[in-house]
A and B are shown apart, each in its own frame.
Chain A
């Protein structure tokens, strides 16, 4: 029997919730932050999940290592094409925007990140990364637990309805709303007049507050979700998102969601955690080299992030933001016969933002000492989580990732 409790309940905890509303509903807008001191406003974490297992070896490329070419005869990136970070390492040629952020000292590469006995199942490994734990039954996320410890507002920006709320955010005291677009985030009615509309909305909301007790966790879940949704939708409707930004974003769903993130950050609704994903990294066949499927994904990632930080700078918000990328695993060191790569393990993470200590953290994994064909990890991802929690969000990481994982120090500048 391999259905876990969480498989049944889905990506949200049904029990043990208070029925309070999302944190930002109760707050007055933070329109008057103590802006006198730089960085005094509360920090924000934007998590970008690369779904499917990003090929780290063709993202941060050890171009000077002759082994690289042997492992990647058809999909390897030619030496002159990489965006050089150092004498050994370079970014994929499609990542000009992120290379530029590295030049500006706003990007750090954390190498060979992973965990012991890595799972090569997409779903299990993604759960491990999102929960920050390798325990058997995972029902809470590392960010959900962080929000339990400290009241923070989170938003999940979904690409479409297919994308469900991530486990990473489960366990938060109130459910993190998923948004696709602000325009669609309202309850419509076919009302005769304004009074009718008000009455209908009241009636629809009231049905979520039924006093009839129910022992059904699913019904309670629906009622609570609905109650929180209607309240959030009212609040965001009232928000005048003054959007004076003229920064142009690439025309991708990913970039549009980063733009929505910038709007939410700038609207001062108290957003501190923003979570979004970019899917398509499961490149088993025909992944391409300098151009092609994987290159397009990295370009979408890099250009979106570059536009996001341009926009945040224009809005005077960049210093508050750290963006983190991760994937459930990297890919097999040696390419397969389909000009693609099978599931692997260790891979790099990126941390990006003006307050990130730029540079390259750790060693590139050896291309000769492989672990069953996979790159071996040297940095446990929970040490990076611990650093982000303590040094960026100001939260004790022990209750979240456990004290076995000391924070990786000096990832941020003060």
Chain B
């Protein structure tokens, strides 16, 4: 597909109809996976209405916000809270926010401006950074980049707070260019050393950024070809003016929302980069164009990402319409490689195939088991697949298999995997169960196992 054609809107046709697989695809990318009701509604509504619903979210839920605020209170989350407590708080938002798309974008920016509590050591500052990311998640990237530069957590994370006139610290200047706005190859070491001088004199006072002119190097600096008595916001502006900037951010959006499999050519991304600059760096505008596009609903994007641990686990919990204790969940996600508020480095999580190795794959399957089985009490046993079937009035093994495969894979899986699940449902009746188990105990155990086995199918690892 040519670039101008690829980003044109998709319209359903006889050859390329709107189907369950596409609804599931959209819900995985614009959120954290569908429920059965969302699949059915999306199929009935068609692409336009479904995309609109996902982009704007359900109406705000005052109870949800009030509960979330209450849990973010200084008494519930004091400055000394650990990353697991913080992550649990965010996971609760991701699970229950009626606007999951906005949480998805906040997570994208958390990975982009990857800051870790491990060095910041102040949960209030990390919380403040989350609020900043959430506020600007769908909005103007220029404002976000400017605000993050004097965000207290970031100022500690990349040592702005210790950078003084005559003794600049290069950490923030380097990562601003390399990771936050331009990408490697679009600046020189001299640009970094000069820019670092502009970031001197910024400290934290009473929990907010404070500019101390006495510690600031007010001399002339030449950064990316522009000379002046630059301060922090000037360097941000200069970076934003570079043609490399919209290209760099759009490239990251592509990988996060379209495909991790094949890197697109610069020409292919150019329409999106131009759009990003033209619309004033409005992130939602670019993503909306992506979601509506022919390219997004083509095999080039479908299942062309590996689920992050958060996507993997939240997809299961949402699908099962269950509730989980988010503290143990945050803990389990750390083993899977994604403890929120603790990215491995300022580059964030590598993502893609790097999520999966022998150890993390086993952790994923074992976590899927722990959530769906009632034998593991860690997650509170409130994600019961058997109860879900009853709620949806499904009965019998054939209906159970069909329900789980529709919910989690939209029935798009190899025929032999389907056959093996059917065979298992038959053969499992011969197993020796404890004597005191009733017929319904055995039946429900089988249904939970069928749900678990569905989640272990390789296709479920793909987003």
Contacts and interface: CB of A to CB of B under 8 A. Distances in A.
Contact of A12 (B303, B344, B353, B457): B353
Decide if the interface of chain A is mainly helix, strand, loop or mixed.
loop
B344 to A, nearest CB: 4
Given A10-B351, A14-B353, A211-B416, A177 B428 contact: no
Interface in B429-463: 430-433, 445, 448-449, 452-453, 456-459, 461-462
A120 to B, nearest CB: 6
A16 interface: no
A124 B185 CA distance: 10
A120 B415 CA distance: 51
B362 A187 contact: yes
Interface in B343-366: 343-347, 349-363, 365-366
B50 interface: no
A110 to B, nearest CB: 26
A120 B174 contact: yes
A81 B415 CA distance: 70
A123 B260 CA distance: 19
Interface stretch (B86-94, B163-171, B274-282): B163-171
Given A161-B336, A190-B375, A193-B432, A206 B420 contact: yes
B131 to A, nearest CB: 24
A252 interface: no
Given A158-B357, A179-B359, A3 B462 contact: no
Contact of A222 (B168, B424, B461): B461
Interface string B139-169: 0000000000000000000110011101111
Nearest to B183: A2
Contacts of B336: 161
Given A162-B337, A211-B416, A285-B159, A203 B453 contact: yes
Contact of B251 (A2, A195, A218, A286): A2
A204 B169 contact: no
B345 to A, nearest CB: 7
A31 B342 CA distance: 42
A8 B261 contact: yes
A3 B255 contact: yes
Interface residues of A, number: 80
Given A120-B174, A121-B178, A219-B459, A284 B352 contact: no
B354 A336 contact: no
Contacts of A175: 357-358
A199 interface: yes
Q: Find the residue from A156, A186, A221 having the highest chain B CB count within 10 A.
A: A221
A89 interface: no
Contact of A3 (B251, B305, B306, B414): B251
A184 B363 contact: yes
A218 B462 contact: yes
Contacts of B347: 122-123
B269 interface: yes
B167 A8 contact: no
A2 B349 CA distance: 17
Contacts of B345: 51, 122, 279
Nearest to B417: A207
B238 interface: no
Interface string A1-21: 111110111111010000000
Nearest to B421: A203
Interface in A106-157: 119-124, 156
**Size class of the B contact interface (CB-based, 8 Å):** 35 or more
Given A188-B369, A207-B457, A340 B159 contact: yes
Interface string B230-270: 00000000000000100110011001000111110110010
Contacts, number: 262
Given A7-B255, A187-B366, A192-B432, A228 B358 contact: yes
B44 interface: no
A186 B366 CA distance: 9
Nearest to A196: B431
A161 B359 contact: yes
A343 interface: yes
A236 to B, nearest CB: 10
B335 interface: yes
Contacts of B204: none
Contacts of A195: 430-432
A342 B338 CA distance: 28
Contacts of B424: 199-200, 203
A342 B342 contact: no
A342 to B, nearest CB: 5
Nearest to B170: A342
A164 B350 contact: yes
Given A192-B433, A196-B431, A212-B416, A223 B458 contact: yes
A208 B184 CA distance: 38
Contacts of A221: 353, 356
Interface string A169-197: 00000010111100011111111110110
Interface string A361-385: 0000000000010000000000000
